[in-house]
Structure 1
């Protein structure tokens, strides 16, 4: 299998980069995670005080052979690549080697490493700005290899985890390595419920609670959406009707309670994050 890289731009345009430019691929893939040590040293004390490390941006590399007929033609091809690679906004890198994970990145370097008159060897390096990979599919997409959005090793295929529920007490499984924090990551929770006066959504695993006001009656036709940090009722921004609490998802099983409702349907849509 020939390694292939596609770029997924902000307008969802997909650019089959290696298919267009690479005669042969020499190297393609991400490098190891980079941890930043945040331990603190104080004067007149031994050692350091421990603090959580954080994951920094890490390199993603493509090295390939470009077949060109002359130095002039090489300059033309390089200009074409500059137009594609250097964008104001970051875009995603997706390979056929790890089809279930993609990486949000900015190009950081492009070098012509070899040139013999007709063949150029080029090395491109990106910086993966989030410090992690993201699942190519979201939790509301089918967890099958046939969907071409998941792969073995993502922790999502072995068990039959559900992300649409009609019960008050449920489990939401985060198969990734990182907490899903709605202040930073994609997380969309959709709630349709019948309630005489508001409701309370609690993640007992993290201790977080979202509350819709007690004096707000909700019907089966009403839809409440927590989309990142934005809260909507029937498409209208409605944060003032809530306690403005947000729900994050720890790695592994999250125990969720929905209280003060007689009927409820919830949908949880997010991507898993990987080291």
Structure 2
């Protein structure tokens, strides 16, 4: 029913603990409204809406060889679901998406037989949304086993490396991407003077008042801006490039000669 990976991306064989997952159910979005009431006015004024951390419900059975093995497996299971550790959970029915979550409940495996136990867990996905297993730079083919139907990808919108000054970047997810909250790496390789990267769709503009040679690499990694690994933040306008859902139309200025720009990010889903 689910695959489980550790925070380093290594698949964990939870079957070694005698575990079998028979139910995985994510809850819907849980809104948190901010409002203001006005005297002598019916209702209230909505000021904004944010989303609470997401709960994921998982049910397990586990099988032991005998009574002593039951106790040993139980203790291993306690360690496996340590609430201090992040786990990535993938619903095997939707293998192109994963949830980063932590166990948030105490649990007590109940005897169903002398050697079979059962228990339920409540995970919390603090980032709320499921993310694509593949990134924008991964091949968009099903044989790489990172994608699935229902991820918003089309044959016409899957190019994330460009060498022209005008191009489009497609965010196939359902959530806009802000580098302050979700990883985005924009890499420019080539010569430039006063490089400017503008997302005309969102209005975001990033500028660098310096220059680069044909072999230099300028990278916008989250909130960091570097050239050949060294910070150039003080020579920028201190802005960030966000990505709206769907097409994002870009315009570059300040380039000189041939260059390459790439966008590396994941897609996020409700």
Alignment equivalent of 1:133, drawn from 130, 141, 145: 130
* Unpaired stretches in structure 1, ≥5 consecutive residues: none
CA displacement, residues 32-85 of structure 1 (integer Å, 9 cap, x when unaligned):
222222233334433222233222212212212212245543232121012121
Alignment equivalent of 1:47, drawn from 13, 38, 43: 43
**Relative to total residues, which structure has the larger strand share, 1 or 2?**
2
Taking structure 2 as the reference length, what is the TM-score of the superposition? 0.92
- Number of aligned residue pairs: give it: 268
Is residue 207 of structure 2 the alignment partner of residue 211 of structure 1? yes
* Unpaired stretches in structure 2, ≥5 consecutive residues: none
Runs of 4+ in 1 over 6 A off after TM superposition: none
Change in Cα spacing, 1:89 to 1:230, as seen in structure 2 (3 Å) is farther
Is residue 186 of structure 2 the alignment partner of residue 189 of structure 1? yes
Change in Cα spacing, 1:4 to 1:178, as seen in structure 2 (3 Å) is closer
Contact 1:105 1:128 in 2 (8 A): yes
Equivalent residue number for residue 238 of structure 2: 244
CA-based RMSD: 1.9
Taking structure 1 as the reference length, what is the TM-score of the superposition? 0.90
Equivalent residue number for residue 151 of structure 1: 148
Is residue 86 of structure 2 the alignment partner of residue 90 of structure 1? yes
Taking the aligned partners of 1:105 and 1:68, their CA distance within structure 2 comes to 27
CA displacement, residues 239-274 of structure 1 (integer Å, 9 cap, x when unaligned):
011111100001111111111223331100000011
Equivalent residue number for residue 270 of structure 1: 265
Equivalent residue number for residue 175 of structure 2: 178
Give 1:69-80 correspondences, 5 Å limit. 69-80=65-76
